[in-house]
Homo-oligomer: A and B are copies of this chain.
Amino acid sequence: MKAYAMLGPGKTGWIEKERPSCGPLDAICRPIALASCTSDVHTVWENALGPRTDLTLGHEGVGEIVEVGALVKDFKPGDKVLCAAITPDWGSVEAQGGYSMHSGGMLCGWKFSNIKDGMFADFFHVNEADSNLALVPDGMDLGVAAMLSDMLPTGLHGAELADVQFGDSVCVIGIGPVGLIAVRGAVLRGAGRILAVGTRPNCVDVAKKFGATDIISYKAGPLLDQVMDMTGGAGVDRVIVAGGDCDTFDDAVSMLKPGGTIGNVNYLGEGDYIKIPRLGWGVGMGHKTIVGGLMPGGRRRLEKLASLVQNGRIDPSLIITHRRKGMDAIEEILLLMKDKPSDLIKPVTIIEW
């Protein structure tokens, strides 16, 4: 079969691969919608996962099942299915403890285009199909469905980690596609005022549509100063980090009120240490909770988030700026994500077989 792969550091291209084989609990799918992700860019061009050879890329997509293992009960060939970027081993002790995304080791629930071949191929493999797939709801746009793989679960997890409560003020740092979903997630956990940090006009526009009440530009001065000014020196109740780097936490901690929480969903690609300021963190005693976490995957999560979309709580189509057709568009949507033209938020390609 054909697969679009990372050939080596900084190099991608189409290669021939063997079709994945289907274990008794697994499913094999053809992709019917695919999206590219900044993580793919990190992987190929920024050495985020280390050197890889001929690793099929892609972890956001929708599939049509072509084969299921003998022990699969709930799905059959022909079913159109949602599939999350994270596909845990549900029987692991980590999953039993509530952290399925770390099944088998920290971050090891992330398999596609990391520890096995990804979705950018004629066929992709899904472990524990009954637990890691969900039917595409009737009438759901396939591009929207592809946003359920990573964008929605990751962005909404930011609001969960930050533990937003009714009326809280929330600062969302970074309004790329994940940060935008985090803005909507903050609304859907009860935030009052939402300060969104970003500058790209199309993203600012969607942030407002999703419920951001204030927009902060890095260009207008130091972030911390702006947040403290806008809040009369009080700071905010919650911070969701969906962009920036290890230094971002310096401001994030300092702008946070005692008793608040920082929820990080940003992949921190470089640097040795996260910068947690001693004084801003209350010399260790300010009750400022800092947590970051990989998105939860699995069938239950997919069904819950699909329910949010179907019932009109969130409209993922707002972040899809580029729609293409066919497998041939894979390279284009990947390079779009790499080059980030000013009108881009998220590209998808829809595939008919």
* Contact, CB under 8 Å: A188 / B166: yes
* Contact, CB under 8 Å: A259 / B188: no
Specify which chain B residues have a CB less than 8 angstroms from the CB of A300 in the assembled complex: 93, 96-97
* Contact, CB under 8 Å: B304 / A168: yes
Q: Does A77 contact B (CB under 8 A)?
A: no
Q: Cα distance A274–B262 when bound, in Å?
A: 15
* Contact, CB under 8 Å: B273 / A99: no
Specify which chain B residues have a CB less than 8 angstroms from the CB of A211 in the assembled complex: 312-313
Which residue on B lies nearest to A293, using beta carbons? Answer: B287
Flag the segment in A3-11, A277-285, A336-344 that touches B.
A277-285
Flag the segment in A29-37, A116-124, A263-271, A323-331 that touches B.
A263-271
Q: Does A223 contact B (CB under 8 A)?
A: no
Task: Annotate A217-254 by CB proximity to B: 1 below 8 A, 0 otherwise.
Answer: 00000000000000000000000010000100110000
| Min distance, Cβ A280 to any Cβ of chain B, angstroms | 9
* Contact, CB under 8 Å: A102 / B287: yes
Contact of A287 among B99, B165, B271, B299 (CB under 8 A): B99
Q: Cα distance A224–B274 when bound, in Å?
A: 19
* Contact, CB under 8 Å: B167 / A282: no
Q: Cα distance A207–B298 when bound, in Å?
A: 32
Q: Does A53 contact B (CB under 8 A)?
A: no
Q: Cα distance A278–B191 when bound, in Å?
A: 29
List residues of A (279-306) whose CB comes within 8 Å of B's CBs: 281-294, 298-301, 303-306
Which residue on B lies nearest to A268, using beta carbons? Answer: B284
A276 with B278, Cβ < 8 A, contacts A188-B188, A287-B293 known: no
* Contact, CB under 8 Å: B259 / A98: yes
* Contact, CB under 8 Å: B100 / A287: no
Task: Annotate A178-204 by CB proximity to B: 1 below 8 A, 0 otherwise.
Answer: 000000010111111110000000000
Specify which chain B residues have a CB less than 8 angstroms from the CB of A188 in the assembled complex: 166, 187-190
Specify which chain B residues have a CB less than 8 angstroms from the CB of A288 in the assembled complex: 291-292
Q: Cα distance A286–B295 when bound, in Å?
A: 10
Q: Cα distance A118–B24 when bound, in Å?
A: 27
Contact of A282 among B107, B131, B191 (CB under 8 A): B107
Q: Does A255 contact B (CB under 8 A)?
A: no
Which residue on B lies nearest to A304, using beta carbons? Answer: B167
Q: Does A21 contact B (CB under 8 A)?
A: no
A273 with B267, Cβ < 8 A, contacts A102-B287, A167-B305 known: no
| Min distance, Cβ A110 to any Cβ of chain B, angstroms | 9
| Min distance, Cβ A298 to any Cβ of chain B, angstroms | 5
Q: Cα distance A281–B268 when bound, in Å?
A: 10
Q: Does A91 contact B (CB under 8 A)?
A: yes
List residues of A (312-353) whose CB comes within 8 Å of B's CBs: 312-313
Q: Cα distance A179–B102 when bound, in Å?
A: 30
Specify which chain B residues have a CB less than 8 angstroms from the CB of A101 in the assembled complex: 285, 287
Specify which chain B residues have a CB less than 8 angstroms from the CB of A131 in the assembled complex: 91-92, 96
Can you list 20 residue pairs at the A/B interface with Cβ under 8 Å? Answer: A91-B131, A96-B298, A96-B301, A107-B258, A107-B282, A166-B304, A166-B305, A167-B307, A187-B313, A188-B188, A191-B311, A192-B310, A241-B284, A250-B273, A266-B284, A274-B278, A274-B281, A286-B293, A287-B291, A287-B294
5 more A-B contacts (CB under 8 A) besides A166-B185, A286-B294? A90-B96, A101-B287, A167-B305, A211-B312, A267-B285
